[in-house]
Amino acid sequence: MTLDANPHDLLIPYTNDFRIGSVETHPPKDTPKKNHLKERLAELITELDELQRRFYARDQRALLLIFQAMDAAGKDSTIRAVMNGVDPAGCYVHSFKQPSQDELQHDFLWRTTLRQPAKGMIGIFNRSYYEEVLVVRVHPEYLAAQRLPEAKPSAEFWEQRLESIRCHEQHLARNGTVILKFWLNVSREEQRQRFLSRLEEADKHWKFNEGDIAEREHWDSYMQAYETALNATSRPWAPWYAIPADDKPYMRVCVAEIIVDTLKRMNLDYPELDKDAHKRFKVLEKQLKNEDK
């Protein structure tokens, strides 16, 4: 995908035949150089800033951005880079980590439901309820902490969870939430290099988690879990995008292109006042101007 290509080339189809091996983790050969990617990202951030203002002013829909990926794929830095110019009053990020004891007292969608964006807002989930069909599927022993009446990790159990997610997202969409889901597709080798960088550079030590190395042993299981989840939940009202993540500047431009394109297609205009409101505003305007006299 070049910068002027349709960002929806990265859309995961709704045909249930998506295969992880069919998508690239690195950019195409004709991708512009790093400085051009940075320039393009700056342009997109400027566009996004204006679109977000109109989105906030319209106050009709919410926008939910979900980021899922293997460790070190660049979720944090991508969110930071793409949303850099957006008014913080109309946007927030929530990172979902290991469930707390309070969260475990509720169903698996409860904690994310509490963080859903209100109308006019952009909400960003760094990880999400998808952890329940990814990390929990790879480590079914985690289900014990949820104390479910029936928690046998069977094919039927996981399909029921995926069905719950589909219904949940369709419900949100029906009630005005626009959902975009980004799978940052990093290769196993690139992840290894990024982990090494965290170990070799002192100012990156804080990023390193020893448990991440152990999770690499489950790479194939994670890929299978992702493939199943993405096939089961990529829908027109809540699409998944497979973003090549081995090159961070390219990844950020892809994400920004999709968000900007989605907002543009909403034909966002600032709200128009009716005739009576215009008259009242004229009176108030005249009143304020006369205060100096």
pLDDT, one tens digit per residue, over 113-145 is: 999 999 999 999 999 999 999 999 999 999 999
Q: Which candidate, 111, 238, 136, 140, places its Cα nearest to that of 183?
A: 238
Extract the tokens encoding 145. Answer: 């902490």
The answer to whether residue 1 sits within a structural domain is no
Q: Three-class SS of residue 175? A: coil
Q: How far is 293 from 271, CA to CA, in rounded Å?
A: 32
The answer to whether residue 217 sits within a structural domain is yes
Q: How far is 250 from 37, CA to CA, in rounded Å?
A: 6
pLDDT at 6 over 60: no
pLDDT at 3 over 80: no
The answer to whether residue 260 sits within a structural domain is yes
Beta-carbon contacts of residue 54 (< 8 Å; ≥ 6 apart): 268, 269, 270
pLDDT at 77 over 70: yes
Count of domains in the chain? 1
pLDDT at 148: 93
The answer to whether residue 2 sits within a structural domain is no
Domain interval for residue 47: 7-290
Average pLDDT on 5-34 reads: 88
The answer to whether residue 34 sits within a structural domain is yes
DSSP code of residue 51: H
Lowest mean pLDDT among 94-98, 203-207, 250-254: 203-207
Contact 140, 161 (CB under 8 A): no
Domain with 67 in it: what CATH number? 3.40.50.300
pLDDT at 2 over 60: no
Q: Three-class SS of residue 29? A: coil
Buried residues in 26-46 as b, exposed as e (16+ CB within 10 A): bbeeebbeeeebeebbeebbe
Q: Residues of the chain with pLDDT > 90: what percent?
A: 80
